[in-house]
């Protein structure tokens, strides 16, 4: 056992350095595209970073669970919708995973296997990716607190907290815990435990993009970050958190642009109800930070932030 471990460590030490992308041409600004749920494509014309892809949600009719009969308690095998994934993520260089629940993780192995992208996420996300056949060299396991340099961008991994679901009893549930060690495909719903939650600060093309995948945060970890674009978890459970918008906007220094994320609850509510929730959330952000521009993103519509500004660039007009 010791020999095996040593061989593994020696192999890791001898491996080539991690991915550093050459700066072939100057960045053209950053383009953000909302992919539904907490999913985003963030690109600068040369590097494509995907966040929490969940294109498979569009396989279901809108408000499916709301209209379906009660959950019968079965532990279903979850199958990613490869056609949707390929259509909306034809290429990717990196996939960031905020946590390993199915609505953040289900599509990640398919993206990695079809595009060759490197997955960055927790040990739990890594366990699911490995079980689904993602090669080890395409996995970067992070613990929270890292600040990683990739050349074309840098990435700070921010320790965070999952949304306060179930009236603050979320952490009483097994889905809050670690991902099991011995996963064997096909993976069922019960495999997708949280495995810890991260936010990310992605510095790319002269911009700083704060990325959240849920509706909670650790205030001291956000304090002093100065993103010019912030993807802020906007689902209803944010109301379980004291002064969510106010504490967050103050900690982040009133970011010029906020995009509500994880607000669409695609299979759980009607489009009108989801939009209403997003509008209420936008009003909360505006009340907390009046100069912030709040943009509720439409599915699959790229939005460009120019390269002119650095750091706290002004939000784009129009
Ligand atoms: Zn979750």
How many angstroms separate the alpha carbon of residue 167 from the centre of ligand 1?
14
Q: What is the pLDDT of residue 65?
A: 83
How many angstroms separate the alpha carbon of residue 19 from the centre of ligand 1?
28
Judged by average pLDDT, the poorest of 22-26, 34-38, 110-114 is 22-26
How many angstroms separate the alpha carbon of residue 197 from the centre of ligand 1?
8
Residues near 92 by beta carbon (within 8 Å), at least 6 away in sequence: 41, 48, 49, 50, 111, 115, 117
Q: Give the pLDDT band of residue 5 (cuts 50, 70, 90).
A: very low
Q: What is the pLDDT of residue 27?
A: 57
How many angstroms separate the alpha carbon of residue 121 from the centre of ligand 1?
14
Q: Inform me whether the pLDDT recorded for 30 exceeds 90.
A: yes
Give the pLDDT mean for 87-102.
Answer: 98
Q: Are 99 and 122 within 8 A, CB to CB? A: yes
Residues near 276 by beta carbon (within 8 Å), at least 6 away in sequence: none
How many angstroms separate the alpha carbon of residue 249 from the centre of ligand 1?
22
Can you tell me whether residue 69 is helix, strand or coil?
A: coil
pLDDT tens-digit readout, 226-237: 999 999 999 999
How many angstroms separate the alpha carbon of residue 108 from the centre of ligand 1?
14
pTM, two decimal places: 0.91
Higher pLDDT among residues 92 and 14, named by residue: 92
Is it true that domain 29-70+77-299 has CATH number 3.40.50.720?
Answer: no
Q: What is the pLDDT of residue 18?
A: 60
pLDDT tens-digit readout, 250-277: 999 999 999 999 999 899 999 999 999 9
Hunting for tokens 């997708």 — which residue is that? 192
Burial class (CB in 10 A: 0-12, 13-18, 19+), 54: buried
- Helical (H) or strand (E) element with 20: none
Q: What is the pLDDT of residue 198?
A: 98
Q: What string of H, E and C letters represents the secondary structure of 68-119?
A: CCCCCCCCCECCCCHHHHHHHCCCCCEEECCCCCHHHHCCHHHHHHHHCCEE
Which residues partner with 299 through β-bridges?
Answer: 34
How many angstroms separate the alpha carbon of residue 192 from the centre of ligand 1?
9
Give the pLDDT mean for 147-162.
Answer: 98
Judged by average pLDDT, the poorest of 145-149, 220-224, 264-268 is 264-268
How many angstroms separate the alpha carbon of residue 226 from the centre of ligand 1?
25
Residue spans per domain, the chain: 29-70+77-299
Give the pLDDT mean for 293-299.
Answer: 98
Neighbours of 136 (CB within 10 A): 11
Which of the 8 DSSP states describes residue 267? T
- Rounded Cα distance between 287 and 232, Å, is 15
Q: Give the pLDDT band of residue 308 (cuts 50, 70, 90).
A: low
Give the pLDDT mean for 302-313.
Answer: 72
Q: How big is the chain by its Cα radius of gyration, in Å? A: 19
Neighbours of 10 (CB within 10 A): 10
Neighbours of 19 (CB within 10 A): 15
């Amino acid at each position: 056992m010791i020999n095996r471990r040593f061989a593994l460590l020696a192999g890791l030490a001898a491996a080539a350095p991690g991915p550093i992308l050459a700066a072939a041409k100057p960045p053209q600004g950053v383009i953000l595209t909302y992919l539904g749920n907490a999913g985003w494509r963030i690109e600068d014309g040369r590097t494509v970073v995907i966040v929490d892809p969940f294109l498979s949600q569009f396989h279901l009719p809108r408000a499916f669970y709301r209209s379906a009969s009660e959950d019968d308690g079965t532990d279903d095998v979850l199958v990613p919708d490869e056609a949707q994934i390929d259509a909306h993520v034809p290429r990717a260089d990196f996939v960031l995973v905020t946590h390993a629940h199915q609505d953040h993780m289900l599509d990640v192995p398919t993206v990695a296997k079809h595009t060759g992208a490197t997955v960055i996420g927790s040990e739990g996300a890594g366990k699911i990716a490995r079980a689904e056949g993602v090669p080890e060299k395409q996995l970067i396991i992070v613990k929270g607190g890292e600040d990683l340099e990739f050349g074309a961008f840098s990435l700070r991994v921010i320790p965070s907290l999952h949304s306060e679901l179930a009236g603050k009893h979320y952490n009483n549930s097994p889905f809050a815990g670690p991902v099991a060690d011995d996963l064997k495909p096909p993976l069922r719903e019960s495999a997708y435990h949280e495995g810890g939650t991260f936010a990310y600060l992605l510095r790319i093309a002269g911009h700083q993009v704060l990325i959240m995948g849920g509706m909670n945060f650790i205030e001291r970890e956000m304090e002093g970050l100065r993103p010019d674009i912030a993807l802020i978890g906007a689902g209803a459970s944010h109301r379980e958190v004291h002064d969510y918008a106010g504490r967050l906007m103050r900690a982040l220094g009133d970011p010029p642009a906020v995009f509500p994320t994880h607000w669409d609850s695609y299979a759980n509510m009607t489009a009108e109800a989801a939009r209403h929730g997003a509008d209420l959330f936008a009003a909360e952000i505006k009340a907390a930070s009046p100069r912030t521009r709040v943009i509720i993103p439409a599915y699959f519509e790229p939005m460009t932030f120019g390269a002119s500004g650095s750091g706290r660039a002004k939000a784009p007009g129009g």
